[in-house]
Amino acid sequence: MELTLSGVTKTFRDRTVVNGISARLTPGIYGLLGANGAGKTTLMRMICGVLDPTAGTVSFDGIPIQNLGERYYARLGHLPQDFNCYPDFTARQFLRYMAAVKGLRGPAAKRRVEEMLDLVNLADAADRRVGGFSGGMKRRLGIAQAELADPSVLVFDEPTAGLDPKERVRFRSLLASLSHDKIVLLSTHIVSDIASVADVVLMMKAGSLVHASSMDDATAALDGKIWELETTEENAARLMGKFTVLSVDAEGTKTLLRIASDRKPARGARPATASLEDLFLLHFNDRNDC
């Protein structure tokens, strides 16, 4: 099973939102990181067939998805960023309706709906109207409908929007349990959403793919280049003008800097272990025109 992007580009009038992205996705979890406005949602919509590329192709097992039509959509689960559902339906009614739309029928459909309600922790609210749900509850219902037909390709666009920290942890555990033999693509601007679950990290900036690697290799290029330094506020301001400062934390009268540099940036700086957040900030900080 393989989802292939070949030079995928989307232009609206004179503005290119996605610019020549190529990637090969096989079963596993792919974390797509990027600041808001990077083009992630537009790329997701092309992968889901909601938008057609201006140029390039999205293919599933070597066949363009436009040619596959329903054969592709039947194997696709999608949670859009702006997920909405009928407010007068209960959660159970909505999932039964979506089961029918996805071709599930009879007792098997009812069993699957109950499984999904349990999976996303909505069993106790199954007979409540969706219009009275919190944002986090609606998001969990969206996750349930995406997984309802046991798809081969799962696409989640900002899936943890509206979730509290406990629900976010639950989602990450859920994601790990769903990923066997599926291609899972998770778009987010929150590094912690993918740091512990993704197999591959992709980063988009201004419509282009600026990084692609396995999670294990993601920070390898930063080994020996991340430093921490406790200094004065005055010296911190000076160093921020000379080096790429990834974070600044005030601790009493001292300022703690986290710096990316090929060499030791100052006396007293100590080496630090590179993280995925460091890589993200290095691509998306103001100093590097991100």
Nearest Cα to Cα of residue 184 among 162, 138, 193 = 193
Examine the domain organization and report whether 71 and 140 are in the same domain. yes
Examine the domain organization and report whether 134 and 247 are in the same domain. no
Instruction: Kindly report the number of other CB atoms within 10 A of residue 103's CB atom.
Output: 10
Alpha-carbon distance of 46 to 97, in angstroms, equals 25
Which one is predicted more confidently, 90 or 82?
90
What stretch of H or E contains 239? helix 233-240
Query: Domain for residue 138, yes or no?
Result: yes
Q: Is the pLDDT of residue 2 over 90?
A: yes
Examine the domain organization and report whether 245 and 197 are in the same domain. no
Q: Is the pLDDT of residue 286 over 60?
A: no
**Domain stop point among 175, 194, 214:** 214
What stretch of H or E contains 163? none
pLDDT tens sequence across 243-267: 999 999 987 788 999 999 999 999 9
Range of the domain at 154: 3-214
Q: Are 24 and 4 in contact (CB under 8 A)?
A: yes
Please compute the mean of the pLDDT values over residues 67-80 and round it to a whole number: 94
Nearest Cα to Cα of residue 175 among 47, 48, 30, 73 = 30
Examine the domain organization and report whether 24 and 137 are in the same domain. yes
**Domain stop point among 214, 232, 257:** 214
Range of lowest pLDDT (68-77, 160-169, 245-254) = 160-169
Q: Are 230 and 237 in contact (CB under 8 A)?
A: no
Q: Is the pLDDT of residue 182 over 80?
A: yes
Query: Domain for residue 118, yes or no?
Result: yes
pLDDT band at 160 (very low <50, low <70, confident <90, very high): confident
Examine the domain organization and report whether 166 and 245 are in the same domain. no
Please compute the mean of the pLDDT values over residues 56-63 and round it to a whole number: 97
Q: Is the pLDDT of residue 135 over 60?
A: yes
Query: Domain for residue 115, yes or no?
Result: yes
Examine the domain organization and report whether 174 and 247 are in the same domain. no
Please compute the mean of the pLDDT values over residues 1-7 and round it to a whole number: 97
Give the 3-state secondary structure of residue 200. Answer: strand
What stretch of H or E contains 12? strand 3-12
Interior angle at CA 16, CA 10 and CA 18, nearest 5? 50
Mean pLDDT of the chain: 91
Kindly report the CATH number assigned to the domain that includes residue 72.
3.40.50.300
Examine the domain organization and report whether 124 and 160 are in the same domain. yes
pLDDT band at 179 (very low <50, low <70, confident <90, very high): low
pLDDT band at 289 (very low <50, low <70, confident <90, very high): very low
pLDDT score recorded for residue 181:
87
Examine the domain organization and report whether 115 and 229 are in the same domain. no
Examine the domain organization and report whether 98 and 205 are in the same domain. yes
Range of lowest pLDDT (12-16, 37-41, 160-164, 167-171) = 160-164
The token pair that represents 44 in the structure block: 């997701």
pLDDT score recorded for residue 198:
92
Percentage of the residues of the chain whose pLDDT score is greater than 70: 98
Query: Domain for residue 279, yes or no?
Result: no
The radius of gyration of the chain from alpha carbons, rounded to an integer in Å, stands at 22
Query: Domain for residue 89, yes or no?
Result: yes
Range among 72-86, 135-149, 200-214, 240-254 rated most confident? 200-214
Domain tally for the chain? 2
Examine the domain organization and report whether 96 and 231 are in the same domain. no
Query: Domain for residue 281, yes or no?
Result: no
Query: Domain for residue 288, yes or no?
Result: no
Examine the domain organization and report whether 119 and 238 are in the same domain. no
pLDDT score recorded for residue 123:
96
Query: Domain for residue 286, yes or no?
Result: no
Which one is predicted more confidently, 58 or 162?
58
**Domain stop point among 190, 214, 238:** 214
Alpha-carbon distance of 66 to 216, in angstroms, equals 34
Q: How far is CA 104 from CA 9, 62, 110, 150, 274, in A?
A: 35, 27, 9, 11, 47
Examine the domain organization and report whether 197 and 230 are in the same domain. no
Q: How far is CA 42 from CA 18, 236, 276, in A?
A: 7, 39, 24
